[in-house]
Amino acid sequence: MDKLIITGGKRLDGEIRISGAKNSALPILAATLLADGPITIGNLPHLHDITTMIELFGRMGVQPTIDEKLNVEVDTSSITTLVAPYELVKTMRASILVLGPMVARFGYAEVALPGGCAIGSRPVDLHIRGLEAMGADISVEDGYIKARAPEGGLRGAHYFFDTVSVTGTENILMAAALANGRSVIENAAREPEVVDLANCLIAMGANIQGAGTATITVDGVKRLAGGRYMVMPDRIETGTYLVAAAATGGRVKLKDTDPTILEAVLLKLEESGAMVDTGSDWISLDMKGNRPKAVNLRTAPYPAFPTDMQAQFVSLNAVAEGTGTVIETVFENRFMHVYEMVRMGAKVQVEGNTCIVTGVPQLKSAPVMATDLRASASLVIAGLVAEGDTLVDRIYHIDRGYECIEEKLQLLGATIRRVPG
């Protein structure tokens, strides 16, 4: 397995472009299964999870084509099987997103129970119950979810999520787009990536109201057409590079992003002492060489502070002035990065779903091991502010969510390189 070696102590300074959002690209790719004509998706990030989804399409008989600008065209007319096999699904939880579109469009689906980051319970029963409410007959056998639509297709339904679920909302939203009649999804996820998916479906001909609110109404249509759609920028990648700059006392400008979709993060960065400026498609941050101030935060579903930025702010607090309290309310097992940071000299106390971080002037380098995608990013940030050479192992997690992370950090002046395992 590849590793990253980071020589810390340099302030980040420069400009980079933000990639398309992985958490939008994956459901939007799944949504192409609903189109009865070719559809082209642009601004896809070059990531392992995207490659896995395209490979999954290939196993199903769909052969996406990629042009010189990395736009992907999907034409489902060649589909030969409605099975998503375990050997692909096990590496990526987002594979579950093909379930709703396949049942809605083709009337049947077999999808292996998914894998992915080990950050806590993310049950698929929310997806299953939603599809059952729309008339699907579903069983779980031999590690596979087997779903069959009733004769005449899925029916519109009124479905309430007892727990807010992004992928659950996305799966039911896609299924409802082709269901007969009206569907009302209550306690829906409000994340920008859900809105991006809805906008893509609307561009394909879907009738959707309320995306971005807790209640989404979908009037099913007979068919969805192909076309073109551009994926939104990645708000978590944006936030990660902003935190990295703040932790190092640096200055960055991030282009091709959207400041309106990470207001909670920008607020906390300003609390830490950063000067933040924004335009329609850019964000700049300047610490003027100063050490950040510790911030308190609590994660919660959008529009509150995102759980996917929690680990990065733990790294910032680790070298900040003062003590910051971080409360994780979304996933129950998302402080695994803390114990690696402690090996680098961080002063962190974990009590249940809360960690209390007392900043130190500088961390010390150490070999560390990534445990999940965002933990990986937090350890890279820790390496940037540590004295000496930090070796980050198991970086395949990083490659699932960050496009060319070492190249982008090098453009900002960091000393970082990838070495083969």
Please tell me what DSSP assigns to residue 97.
G
Q: Are 120 and 333 in contact, with CB atoms under 8 Å apart? A: yes
Nearest CA-CA partner of 342 in 355, 324, 331, 354 = 355
Q: Are 369 and 393 in contact, with CB atoms under 8 Å apart? A: yes
Q: What is the H or E stretch that residue 6 is in? A: strand 3-7
Catalytic residue (choose from 117, 200, 355, 404):
117
Tokens of 314: 């733990």
Nearest CA-CA partner of 393 in 364, 370, 413, 418 = 370
Omega into 303 within 30° of 0, i.e. cis?
A: yes
Tokens of 231: 């994926």
Q: Tell me, yes or no, if 355 is annotated catalytic.
A: no
The residues, ordered by sequence, that sit 6+ positions from 9 with a Cβ below 8 Å of its Cβ are: 385, 386, 387
SS3 236: helix
Q: What is the dihedral of CA 86, 92, 97, 98, to 10 degrees?
A: -40
Nearest CA-CA partner of 295 in 328, 277, 269 = 269
Write out the catalytic residue numbers: 117
